[in-house]
């Protein structure tokens, strides 16, 4: 069997590992634009100098030998010939496959901002090459504006803060990490950023950038009229799936990205997809799991994606840890959701449930409760059955051991 995997990140690398496990004799080729294996989640530590390139790598040092994989690195796949079962490389060469895994992830979306076209001093924050540029920026620039306060924008901001560089943060959303946090949890970080001298503008977009004659941005104009001095502009306002090379392939694409089912299979029986390329759940654990599941199915061992929560993030910024799970802010016009909160000092906890089923949660300042929470979710416990305040539940309340067979059971059964 000849397997080809495109993409050497979370989904692709774990796909290769799983293929080798399930099919020891197969021929495996990995093709990637990336020349190295690295975790994008810790790129900010490379920016700040707290990690070397080697320490960003999440694969074994002898990955290629260990998994007997032919890794074609630094090469872009530019086309797909499904009839011939071949991928087409940028140099025109072709590589044949019996089964193909597309794990090409996504790229930074550059919004159509007035005045931005042709500017030299802006970049995204996604690939190692971006970070190489951003490392040099503070040597020449002192007014860095970061557009976007999602996980990526905040990584960029804190990476720079660790270097002693203060940026200005701009986001259309009302508060930072808008997808992961509610306003209360976000305020903790907003206050901390203020204390560290980070200028922040929320609820406003960028209406225009001003370029000088050399093609450098000098000012960023916000939709409320604020004029920000700017000598480098970092754009982290969303991503788009890397599916350009599939446009004429006949593979089904949605407006978000590559379409595949819970086994990873696309509308071609020999082609699978995994990770950010779907444009649906752009987080690391989903990419890893989808890569493994697709690979297992490619090797003939059935597996399905069954995760309940498409979004789970654990973050640590400026010494404050937060875990965010699922829907943390229920829709305003829907009173079928119930919300439980707990606040004491720096600790904030919140559970959102509907018909007794937890659909979202936030833990800030004390993640120890995460263990109980995961049990509540994994065991599908109806939180309405819990007799005491939900945040006082601990393992000893909830799980008891039946004397006769030493099995765990719930105290309220």
Ligand X SMILES: Cc1cc2nc3c(=O)[nH]c(=O)nc-3n(C[C@H](O)[C@H](O)[C@H](O)COP(=O)(O)OP(=O)(O)OC[C@H]3O[C@@H](n4cnc5c(N)ncnc54)[C@H](O)[C@@H]3O)c2cc1C
Q: Does 6 bind ligand X (CB under 6 A)?
A: yes
| Part in contact with ligand X (CB under 6 A); list of ranges 91-99, 247-255, 272-280, 396-404 | 272-280
Q: Does 77 bind ligand X (CB under 6 A)?
A: yes
User: What is the 8-class DSSP label of residue 50?
Assistant: S
Bridge-based pairing of strands 2-6 and 27-32 is parallel
Q: Can you tell me which of 29, 45, 104, 168 binds ligand X, judged by CB under 6 A?
A: 104
Question: What is the separation of C-alpha 230 from the centre of its chain, rounded to a whole number of angstroms?
Answer: 28
- Binders of ligand X among residues 239 to 258 (CB under 6 A) are 242, 245
| Part in contact with ligand X (CB under 6 A); list of ranges 100-108, 294-302, 338-346, 379-387 | 100-108
Q: Does 88 bind ligand X (CB under 6 A)?
A: no
- Binders of ligand X among residues 195 to 234 (CB under 6 A) are none
Q: Find, among 360, 361, 358, 330, the residue nearest to 348 by Cα.
A: 361
Instruction: State the sign of the Cα–Cα–Cα–Cα dihedral 204, 158, 178, 393.
Output: negative
Q: How far is the CB of 134 from ligand X (least distance, A)?
A: 11
Q: How far is the CB of 127 from ligand X (least distance, A)?
A: 7
CA distance 210 to 228: 10
Q: How far is the CB of 379 from ligand X (least distance, A)?
A: 24
Q: For the chain, count helices (H), then strands (E).
A: 9, 25
Q: Can you tell me which of 147, 186, 222, 287 binds ligand X, judged by CB under 6 A?
A: 287
Question: What is the separation of C-alpha 49 from the centre of its chain, rounded to a whole number of angstroms?
Answer: 22
**DSSP sequence for 367-393:** GGGHHHHHHHHHTT--GGG--S-GGG-
CA distance 243 to 103: 10
Q: Does 40 bind ligand X (CB under 6 A)?
A: yes
Q: How far is the CB of 272 from ligand X (least distance, A)?
A: 13
Would you tell me the crossing angle of helices 10-22 and 284-298 to the nearest 10 degrees?
A: 30
CA distance 119 to 138: 18
Bridge-based pairing of strands 86-89 and 77-81 is antiparallel
CA distance 325 to 369: 13
User: What is the 8-class DSSP label of residue 253?
Assistant: B
Q: Can you tell me which of 3, 4, 5, 11 binds ligand X, judged by CB under 6 A?
A: 11
Q: Can you tell me which of 148, 264, 273, 282 binds ligand X, judged by CB under 6 A?
A: 282
- Is the Cβ of residue 32 or residue 391 nearer to ligand X in the bound state? 32
- Is the Cβ of residue 130 or residue 397 nearer to ligand X in the bound state? 130
| Part in contact with ligand X (CB under 6 A); list of ranges 25-33, 59-67, 220-228, 322-330 | 25-33
The residue count for binding ligand X (CB under 6 A) is 36
CA 170 → CA 83, 165, 237, 271, 298, distances in Å? 47, 16, 10, 40, 44
| Part in contact with ligand X (CB under 6 A); list of ranges 28-36, 48-56, 207-215, 296-304 | 28-36
Q: Does 103 bind ligand X (CB under 6 A)?
A: yes
Taking every pair of Cα atoms in the chain, the longest distance, rounded to a whole number of angstroms, is 83
Q: How far is the CB of 148 from ligand X (least distance, A)?
A: 11
Q: How far is the CB of 145 from ligand X (least distance, A)?
A: 17
Binding mask 116-155 for ligand X (x = CB under 6 A): ---------xx------------------------xx--x
- Is the Cβ of residue 8 or residue 222 nearer to ligand X in the bound state? 8
CA distance 242 to 276: 9
- Residues of the shown chain interacting with ligand X in the complex, contacts defined by CB under 6 A: 6-12, 31-34, 40-41, 43, 76-77, 103-106, 125-126, 151-152, 155, 242, 245, 275-277, 282-285, 287, 313
């Amino acid at each position: 069997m000849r397997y080809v995997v495109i993409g050497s990140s979370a989904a692709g690398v774990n796909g290769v590992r799983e293929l080798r496990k399930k099919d020891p004799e197969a021929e495996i080729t990995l093709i990637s634009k990336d020349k190295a294996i690295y975790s994008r989640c810790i790129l900010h530590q490379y920016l700040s100098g707290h990690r070397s390139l080697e320490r960003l790598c999440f694969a074994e040092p002898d990955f290629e030998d260990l998994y007997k994989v032919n890794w074609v690195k630094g090469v872009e796949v530019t086309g797909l010939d499904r009839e011939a079962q071949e991928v087409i490389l940028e140099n025109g060469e072709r590589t044949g496959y019996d089964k193909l895994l597309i794990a090409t992830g996504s790229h930074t979306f550059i919004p159509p901002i007035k005045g931005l076209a042709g500017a030299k001093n802006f970049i995204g924050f996604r690939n190692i090459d971006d970070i190489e540029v951003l490392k040099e920026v503070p040597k020449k620039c002192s007014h860095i504006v970061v557009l976007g306060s999602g996980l990526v924008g905040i990584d960029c901001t804190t990476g720079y803060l660790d270097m002693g560089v203060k940026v200005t943060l701009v986001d259309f959303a009302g508060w930072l990490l808008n997808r992961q946090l509610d306003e209360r949890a976000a305020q903790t970080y907003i206050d901390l950023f203020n204390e560290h001298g980070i200028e922040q503008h929320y609820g406003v977009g960028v209406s225009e950038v001003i370029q000088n004659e050399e093609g450098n941005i000098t000012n960023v104009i916000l939709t409320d009229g604020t004029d920000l001095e700017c000598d480098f502009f970092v754009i982290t306002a969303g991503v788009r799936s890397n599916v350009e090379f599939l446009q004429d392939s006949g593979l089904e694409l949605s407006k978000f990205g590559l379409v595949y089912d819970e086994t990873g299979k696309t509308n071609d029986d020999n082609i699978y997809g995994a990770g950010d390329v779907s444009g649906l759940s752009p987080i690391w654990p989903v990419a890893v799991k989808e890569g493994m599941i697709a690979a297992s199915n490619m090797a003939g061992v059935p597996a399905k994606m069954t995760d309940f929560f498409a979004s789970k993030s654990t973050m640590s910024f400026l010494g404050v840890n937060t875990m965010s799970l699922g829907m943390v802010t229920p829709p305003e016009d829907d009173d079928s959701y119930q919300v439980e909160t707990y606040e004491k000092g720096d600790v904030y906890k919140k559970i959102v449930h509907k018909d007794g089923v937890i659909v979202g949660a936030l833990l800030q300042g004390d993640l120890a409760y995460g263990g109980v929470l995961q049990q509540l979710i994994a065991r599908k416990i109806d939180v309405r059955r819990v007799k005491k305040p939900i945040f006082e539940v601990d393992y000893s309340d909830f799980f008891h051991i039946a004397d006769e067979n030493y099995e765990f059971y719930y105290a309220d059964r």
